[in-house]
Chain A
Amino acid sequence: MPTSPVLELRKIEKAYFGTRVLKGVELSLHAGEIHALLGENGAGKSTLMNVLFGMPVIRETGGFSGEVLLEGKPVSIRSPKEAMKLGIGMVHQEFMLIPGFEVHENIKLNREPLLGLPVRRVLGRSLDLLDIARMRRESRESLARIKLEVSERALVADLPVGHMQFVEIAREVDKGDVRVLVFDEPTAVLTESEAETLLGVMRDLADRGIAILFITHRLDEVMSAADTVTILRDGELVSCSRKDETSIPEIAERMVGRDVSTEARTGAGHAPSADHEPILIVEDLRVEMPGEEVRGVDFTVEKGEILGIGGLAGQGKIGIANGIMGLAPATGRVAVAGEELRLNSPKDALGRGLAFVSEDRRGVGLLLDESVEMNIAIPAIEIHGRFLRAPFLGPFAPVDRGGVRRHAKEAIADLDIRTTGPTQVVRRLSGGNQQKVCLARALVLEPRLLLVSEPTRGIDVGAKELILDRLRKLNREHGLTILMTSSELGELRSLCHRVAIISEGRIAGILTPDDPDVQYGLLMSGGTL
């Protein structure tokens, strides 16, 4: 192994709107090595890649500080195209392929060899004819290099998902002078045997002198394929070590590790008030939610407890609440207080006393151009027929504006919603205050089970504290049962009585907040206890 690195990132710092997401990250990549980059969601991996590839979003938000060195020389990469020219390629998690094109067309797209006809002098390169024979030959060679037995004439749309991933790789390999190749969670969509083949291909490529940066969540893959392991957490470099010097538990602990003990915890294990009476029983719930698929979960929520659902993004934790509430197509069995819930019917779920604070605040949670008071009242009007002046008129009953106003004022005072008044349009509120409105509109339904998804995503610290505190208080003082989904492990561990960790659409395990970090880390990265 050569002593000087091919690619070096030095003291990379980046802030989005005052929030520091990268705090002096260092990374060096040597030719012929597979370097695993690990970290939770939000640890800064994507931002680091955006810096490396010169994505416009970095420049538009004020650029970054630090140095990128390629073979010892500082380079400034201002666009993905420049990165490509310098020999830095990427295999994307979502396929960047055109389904209606054949494999060889996809591999050569925008880099097609031309015939060099005389017309080029007159009409320019863009109108020269493609050298299709050469395109096919070279594509075939690239496919062979990664041991993919697929005709270069096949339509990408007809390929199995696993093969599409390999076509992506073939395209990067085909670029010839590629020196650094980034794999962004390449095995996420592959079957086990495909994943094994892929790791083999990666090894092959590395042996040929390409430096590989391997972003993944699966620790067993790291242990089987990587040479070096770098861990990021909250934008900071936690450690960079040789694989043989570390172990899965150590990695898991370093990924998750944070000082949770300082935060006030609700309590471990079952809620003190709980009488172990199940209020929600979920059996074999499967939810088809794009990007958050749930592949069969079973769990029980006991009356009076706060059950947390955690896990990495894309593993399916978001799908569970949406499936129960009927917002995403679901199958399985869900019972609320002993009665079977009709799936895929928001109305039935709401009618049985479930209320939902959606993770998609602006998309699902609010009517952005309506007033605060109407946003709070509309669900109660539609579901319980509250706030109506002559309820016997059914759908033609006029809305009781006075009652709506009175209730909104109470909610504004209660949740400390910062607004100019109940008639202010919700769009003008800050994220935190919008979230408080979402909470208010769920609470007005007087639910017996409150489902809360990502309650603190994208809101300021003050509002965060208030919302978490309010949830805790609702649980403690009013005995409200809460099913809370969050990407913030610390938040879950501080608030919940039990935390279920979701991995690959299934429950990897249910932990108590006091369980050690290493167990959380292991469950989140596809391991078992």
Chain B
Amino acid sequence: MSDHLAVMLERAKDGVRSFGLARWIIVGFLLLIWFIAGIFTDNDLGTLLGDCLVRSGMNGLLVLALVLPIRAGSGLNFGIPLGIVCGLVGGIFSLELAAANPFGLSWLSGVESLSRGGSGFLIAHAVALPLSALLGLGFGWLLEKVRGQEMMVGIYVGFGAVAGMCVLWLKAPLTSPELIWPIGGDGVRNTIVLQDYYKWILDSWGEVSFGSFAPGALDPQGNAPAFTRSGGFYLPTGLMLFWLGACGLMAVFLKTRLGTALSAAGENPEYARSIGIPVARMRRWSIVISTMLAASGIIVYSQSYGFYQLYKAALWMAFPAVASILLGGASLRRAGVMHVIIGTLLFQSLLTTSLPTVNSLVQNSPYREGLANLPEIARLVIQNGVILYALSRASRGSR
């Protein structure tokens, strides 16, 4: 009997150990924040937990986009802003259909209804996915040329894509009054409200909420991302299903013949070559799929956020995603779907809860201006720290 117990204890210990010390620290920290938030501040814990889920669902696809390049041996794909701008192009395309003469083309008029609701969401994808596949192909080709420096080149490709799009946004041939600058002239606005199009198209599908739910309330501080759902626990059922469904598909894909070949190519290219796997093609495909996932990811993100943010908003978006998957236990060479799910939930929960908690804790302090920056500083330390940690252990396994 005691033997049985010992075995179970050993199993439990293994489980705890395999979760990793770093993750336990983060979990402990998270629990501490929730504890403080529940007891010492007037924040509603239910609301915070709901926000954690929303934030995770929003960012989840962008994190999932990182899995394949890691497995195929290209490292962390810092170039996902390339996919993000493709997603934004698709999104803006779908919104422009609401104009009287979309793109100034009279034969396109009368399709306004297409831009609203589910069809708008689908059209955004229909434009974004082929575009991102195409650019992903080019990106993959480029990475093959700079073998060994994928991550650094990826960072600059991401930056370059965002910066290049800044110019294109200014010159985009759009006519919808909701897209172009209100003062007139060329170019798209910085932020486009999705309220009348497909805001929460996923979030609200089968949504569950407890407590008072008041959509539209703005963040009182104004500096935080505007979580407009406040007052009570909220489960964005459709959003979570979409994300977890994508994760499930990825998990299945990794267990197919192609997924196996791709992982083998990443783990040992020499080996893969010796059994006839086209290693370079595997890496290229991984980048294509990653870029497509990023494109879809930003559309999902925006429908939940309620806005498309253009211009420089996508500049730094690779970093939180990269930090998430690393926090979930991935390394530069190994990544799985569980790393995505655990990492996204942990990282986003930490961000989502620490900000309002610290804000309410320090609101009566004479130093509140400075102290209010603490969560942002903590975010930067964690985000960049975890990336630095992973890079410094490049040659070793996870943990």
Given contacts A368-B268, A369-B334, is CB(A346)–CB(B273) below 8 Å?
yes
Cα distance A210–B218 in the bound complex, in angstroms = 90
Which residues of A sit under 8 angstroms from B214, Cβ to Cβ? none
A388 is an interface residue with CB less than 8 A from chain B: yes
B370 is an interface residue with CB less than 8 A from chain A: no
Tell whether, in the assembled complex, residue A382 and residue B255 are in contact, meaning their CB atoms are under 8 Å apart: no
Tell whether, in the assembled complex, residue A369 and residue B397 are in contact, meaning their CB atoms are under 8 Å apart: yes
Tell whether, in the assembled complex, residue B270 and residue A360 are in contact, meaning their CB atoms are under 8 Å apart: yes
Cα distance A373–B219 in the bound complex, in angstroms = 54
For residue B279, give the distance in angstroms from its CB to the closest CB of chain A. Answer: 11
Cα distance A367–B255 in the bound complex, in angstroms = 16
For residue B275, give the distance in angstroms from its CB to the closest CB of chain A. Answer: 4
For residue A441, give the distance in angstroms from its CB to the closest CB of chain B. Answer: 9
Stretch from B35-43, B259-267, B386-394 that touches the partner: B259-267
Residues of B in contact with A (beta carbons under 8 Å apart):
252-253, 255-258, 260-261, 264, 267-268, 270-271, 273-277, 334, 397
Tell whether, in the assembled complex, residue A379 and residue B275 are in contact, meaning their CB atoms are under 8 Å apart: yes
Bitwise, A369-394 to B at CB < 8 A (1) or not (0) is 11000100011011101001000011
Closest residue of B by beta carbon distance from A356: B274
Contact of B275 among A360, A382, A385 (CB under 8 A): A382
Q: Most B CB atoms within 10 A — which of A351, A378, A379?
A: A378
Q: Most A CB atoms within 10 A — which of B264, B273, B275?
A: B275
A307 is an interface residue with CB less than 8 A from chain B: no
For residue A315, give the distance in angstroms from its CB to the closest CB of chain B. Answer: 23
Given contacts A382-B260, A388-B257, A398-B255, is CB(A365)–CB(B271) below 8 Å?
yes
Tell whether, in the assembled complex, residue B275 and residue A346 are in contact, meaning their CB atoms are under 8 Å apart: yes
Tell whether, in the assembled complex, residue A358 and residue B274 are in contact, meaning their CB atoms are under 8 Å apart: yes
For residue A55, give the distance in angstroms from its CB to the closest CB of chain B. Answer: 25
Given contacts A327-B273, A350-B275, is CB(A378)–CB(B260) below 8 Å?
yes
Q: Most B CB atoms within 10 A — which of A346, A351, A366, A382?
A: A382
Tell whether, in the assembled complex, residue A366 and residue B271 are in contact, meaning their CB atoms are under 8 Å apart: yes
Cα distance A117–B257 in the bound complex, in angstroms = 71
Tell whether, in the assembled complex, residue A395 and residue B258 are in contact, meaning their CB atoms are under 8 Å apart: yes
Tell whether, in the assembled complex, residue B256 and residue A382 are in contact, meaning their CB atoms are under 8 Å apart: no
Cα distance A345–B274 in the bound complex, in angstroms = 9
Tell whether, in the assembled complex, residue A378 and residue B275 are in contact, meaning their CB atoms are under 8 Å apart: yes
Residues of A in contact with B (beta carbons under 8 Å apart):
325, 327, 345-347, 350-351, 356, 358, 360, 363-370, 374, 378-379, 381-383, 385, 388, 393-399
For residue B141, give the distance in angstroms from its CB to the closest CB of chain A. Answer: 21
For residue B18, give the distance in angstroms from its CB to the closest CB of chain A. Answer: 13
Tell whether, in the assembled complex, residue B256 and residue A347 are in contact, meaning their CB atoms are under 8 Å apart: no
The 9 A-B residue pairs with the shortest CB-CB distance in the complex, in nearest-first order: A347-B276, A395-B258, A379-B275, A364-B270, A346-B276, A396-B256, A367-B267, A364-B274, A397-B257
Apart from the given pairs A366-B271, A395-B258, 7 other A-B contacts in the complex at a CB distance below 8 Å:
A360-B270, A363-B268, A364-B271, A368-B268, A370-B264, A396-B258, A398-B256
Cα distance A379–B397 in the bound complex, in angstroms = 24
Given contacts A378-B264, A382-B260, A382-B261, is CB(A346)–CB(B274) below 8 Å?
yes
Tell whether, in the assembled complex, residue B256 and residue A369 are in contact, meaning their CB atoms are under 8 Å apart: no
Closest residue of A by beta carbon distance from B267: A367
Contact of A369 among B253, B267, B276 (CB under 8 A): B267
Closest residue of B by beta carbon distance from A445: B275
Tell whether, in the assembled complex, residue B256 and residue A393 are in contact, meaning their CB atoms are under 8 Å apart: yes
Q: Most B CB atoms within 10 A — which of A351, A360, A381, A388?
A: A381
Tell whether, in the assembled complex, residue B264 and residue A367 are in contact, meaning their CB atoms are under 8 Å apart: yes
Cα distance A379–B256 in the bound complex, in angstroms = 14
Which residues of A sit under 8 angstroms from B268, Cβ to Cβ? 363-364, 366-368
For residue B254, give the distance in angstroms from its CB to the closest CB of chain A. Answer: 10
Closest residue of B by beta carbon distance from A396: B256
Tell whether, in the assembled complex, residue A395 and residue B271 are in contact, meaning their CB atoms are under 8 Å apart: no
Tell whether, in the assembled complex, residue B257 and residue A383 are in contact, meaning their CB atoms are under 8 Å apart: no
Tell whether, in the assembled complex, residue B270 and residue A363 are in contact, meaning their CB atoms are under 8 Å apart: yes
For residue B195, give the distance in angstroms from its CB to the closest CB of chain A. Answer: 39
Tell whether, in the assembled complex, residue B267 and residue A395 are in contact, meaning their CB atoms are under 8 Å apart: no
For residue A129, give the distance in angstroms from its CB to the closest CB of chain B. Answer: 38
Contact of A399 among B257, B270, B271, B277 (CB under 8 A): B257
Cα distance A366–B267 in the bound complex, in angstroms = 10
Cα distance A158–B334 in the bound complex, in angstroms = 44
Tell whether, in the assembled complex, residue A399 and residue B260 are in contact, meaning their CB atoms are under 8 Å apart: yes
Cα distance A364–B277 in the bound complex, in angstroms = 13
Q: List 15 A-B contacts (CB under 8 A).
A: A325-B274, A327-B273, A346-B276, A350-B276, A364-B270, A365-B274, A367-B264, A378-B260, A381-B260, A382-B260, A382-B276, A393-B256, A395-B256, A396-B253, A396-B256
Cα distance A422–B229 in the bound complex, in angstroms = 51
Which residues of A sit under 8 angstroms from B252, Cβ to Cβ? 398
Tell whether, in the assembled complex, residue A327 and residue B274 are in contact, meaning their CB atoms are under 8 Å apart: yes
Cα distance A32–B268 in the bound complex, in angstroms = 52
Tell whether, in the assembled complex, residue A367 and residue B271 are in contact, meaning their CB atoms are under 8 Å apart: yes
Given contacts A346-B275, A369-B334, is CB(A382)–CB(B257) below 8 Å?
yes
For residue B260, give the distance in angstroms from its CB to the closest CB of chain A. Answer: 6
Which residues of B sit under 8 angstroms from A397, Cβ to Cβ? 256-257
Which residues of B sit under 8 angstroms from A370, Cβ to Cβ? 264, 267
Closest residue of A by beta carbon distance from B333: A369
For residue A366, give the distance in angstroms from its CB to the closest CB of chain B. Answer: 7
Cα distance A370–B260 in the bound complex, in angstroms = 11
Which residues of B sit under 8 angstroms from A369, Cβ to Cβ? 267, 334, 397
Cα distance A385–B275 in the bound complex, in angstroms = 12
Cα distance A345–B273 in the bound complex, in angstroms = 9
Closest residue of A by beta carbon distance from B266: A367
Cα distance A241–B268 in the bound complex, in angstroms = 50
For residue B158, give the distance in angstroms from its CB to the closest CB of chain A. Answer: 29
Cα distance A358–B264 in the bound complex, in angstroms = 17
For residue B261, give the distance in angstroms from its CB to the closest CB of chain A. Answer: 6
Which residues of A sit under 8 angstroms from B274, Cβ to Cβ? 325, 327, 346, 356, 358, 364-365
Closest residue of A by beta carbon distance from B253: A396
Tell whether, in the assembled complex, residue A399 and residue B267 are in contact, meaning their CB atoms are under 8 Å apart: no
Which residues of A sit under 8 angstroms from B276, Cβ to Cβ? 345-347, 350-351, 382-383
Which residues of B sit under 8 angstroms from A327, Cβ to Cβ? 273-274
Cα distance A358–B270 in the bound complex, in angstroms = 11
Tell whether, in the assembled complex, residue B397 and residue A382 are in contact, meaning their CB atoms are under 8 Å apart: no
Cα distance A365–B256 in the bound complex, in angstroms = 22
For residue A132, give the distance in angstroms from its CB to the closest CB of chain B. Answer: 38
Cα distance A396–B250 in the bound complex, in angstroms = 12
Cα distance A322–B267 in the bound complex, in angstroms = 21
Which residues of B sit under 8 angstroms from A396, Cβ to Cβ? 253, 256-258
Which residues of B sit under 8 angstroms from A383, Cβ to Cβ? 275-276
Which residues of B sit under 8 angstroms from A356, Cβ to Cβ? 274
Which residues of A sit under 8 angstroms from B277, Cβ to Cβ? 382
